[in-house]
Copies of this chain bind each other. A is one copy, B any other.
Amino acid sequence: MTHDHVISAKSLSRADIETVLDRAAEIDRSPPDRDRHADDLLALCFFEPSTRTHMSFETAIKRLGGDALDMGPVESSSATKGESLADTVRVVEGYADALVLRHPSEGAAQMASEFVDIPLINAGDGAGQHPTQTLLDLYTMREAAGDLADLTVGIMGDLKYGRTVHSLAYALTKFDARQHFVSPESLSLPRSVRYDLHESGARLKEHTDLDAVIEELDVLYVTRIQRERFPDENEYRQIAGEYRIDAATLEDAREECVVMHPLPRVDEIAPDVDATQHAHYFEQAHNAVPVRMALLDLLLSEDDR
């Protein structure tokens, strides 16, 4: 790892990503000696709640033998007394060996990282980045479907507002995977993202209908279509219905096709998919642990030793 801070998936090179995924695979097979990180404290500073991300980072540091330190809910933090984010992280730096930051404002992680010397990990900053989600998505694809360069990945749902999706697309481009984007016209990739992906040499196609590509996919990545994007409730219902999958949808898919979802899901994937061999979304959620362990192990080893 050549980074002290992990702010965006975009800034991680293919080699960085491979280092993390390889370490995660090692950790998955045999967890590192708990003494190695016994002195390490990870501060969790969540300026907006995110249970899943919070719990998996806490799990990761504890599985490494270290411990976590929680800032608590933002409503009771010093921020409510008018303290700046820069001051908060400079205080927390004195308590912990690394810091995980979740913040509602885009750019918050980059700004905060300029004030601290301990490694800072961006765990989501508004419409910005959430690099460890991308890492665990890639890890799940690699473990479940094989070499990323050989994969054909379909990404379906809200491609316009979905932060997760953009980071994932940039990362898959680095690995030269084939990408199919499936969405209603109104929620297709933003122009700037499409442009950047083409500039980076992405092998991508766009579709409005899953049927057009389902047979080719090694991975189908489903995301939620949010009600609040639609002024009209009927339009929402109609579109959400068209981009929902169930066991029947998957009858046309390859037997090995891996279905993923960043969770929580609401209606996008019917419960009857859970029992099929395609369902990998819980495994994907569980992969948050080895991937975050790997990242912390790399950052904290650099730092201390």
- Interface residue ranges, A against B (CB under 8 Å): 34, 38-39, 41, 43, 49, 51-52, 54-56, 58-59, 62-63, 67, 69-73, 75-78, 81-83, 87-88, 90-96, 263-266, 282-283, 285-286, 288-289
Do residues B95 and A282 form an inter-chain contact, with CB atoms below 8 A?
Answer: no
Could you list 16 A-B pairs, sorted by A, with CB under 8 Å? A49-B75, A51-B76, A51-B78, A54-B72, A55-B69, A62-B67, A73-B76, A78-B263, A82-B264, A83-B263, A83-B264, A83-B265, A91-B286, A93-B282, A94-B282, A94-B286
Q: Which of B43, B56, B88, B264 contacts A78 (CB 8 A)?
A: B264
Determine how many copies of this chain the complex contains: 3
Q: Which residues of B contact A71 (CB under 8 A)?
A: 51, 55
Do residues B266 and A82 form an inter-chain contact, with CB atoms below 8 A?
Answer: yes
Query: What separation, in Å, do the CA atoms of A157 and B115 have in the docked complex?
Result: 27
Query: What separation, in Å, do the CA atoms of A41 and B293 have in the docked complex?
Result: 15
CB distance from A28 to the nearest CB of B (A): 12
CB distance from A284 to the nearest CB of B (A): 9
Query: What separation, in Å, do the CA atoms of A72 and B263 have in the docked complex?
Result: 18
Do residues A264 and B87 form an inter-chain contact, with CB atoms below 8 A?
Answer: yes
Do residues B49 and A87 form an inter-chain contact, with CB atoms below 8 A?
Answer: no
Q: Which residues of B contact A286 (CB under 8 A)?
A: 91, 93-95
Tell whether A59 pairs with B69 under 8 Å between CB atoms, given A266-B81, A285-B94: yes
Q: A34-B39, A87-B264, A93-B282 are in contact. List 19 more A-B contacts (CB 8 A).
A: A34-B38, A41-B62, A41-B63, A43-B55, A49-B76, A49-B77, A51-B72, A52-B78, A52-B91, A55-B72, A56-B95, A58-B69, A59-B69, A67-B67, A73-B76, A82-B266, A91-B285, A94-B283, A94-B285
Do residues B41 and A81 form an inter-chain contact, with CB atoms below 8 A?
Answer: no
Q: Which residues of B contact A76 (CB under 8 A)?
A: 49, 51, 73
Q: Which residues of B contact A92 (CB under 8 A)?
A: 55
Query: What separation, in Å, do the CA atoms of A6 and B121 have in the docked complex?
Result: 37
* Closest chain B residue to A72, Cβ basis: B51
Query: What separation, in Å, do the CA atoms of A58 and B68 have in the docked complex?
Result: 10
Do residues A90 and B34 form an inter-chain contact, with CB atoms below 8 A?
Answer: no
Do residues B41 and A264 form an inter-chain contact, with CB atoms below 8 A?
Answer: no
Q: Which 6 A-B pairs give the minimum distances between C-beta atoms?
A: A94-B286, A49-B76, A83-B264, A59-B95, A78-B264, A82-B266
Q: Which residues of B contact A69 (CB under 8 A)?
A: 55, 58-59, 62
* Closest chain B residue to A51, Cβ basis: B77
Q: Which residues of B contact A58 (CB under 8 A)?
A: 69-70
Q: Which residues of B contact A67 (CB under 8 A)?
A: 62, 67
Q: Which residues of B contact A34 (CB under 8 A)?
A: 38-39
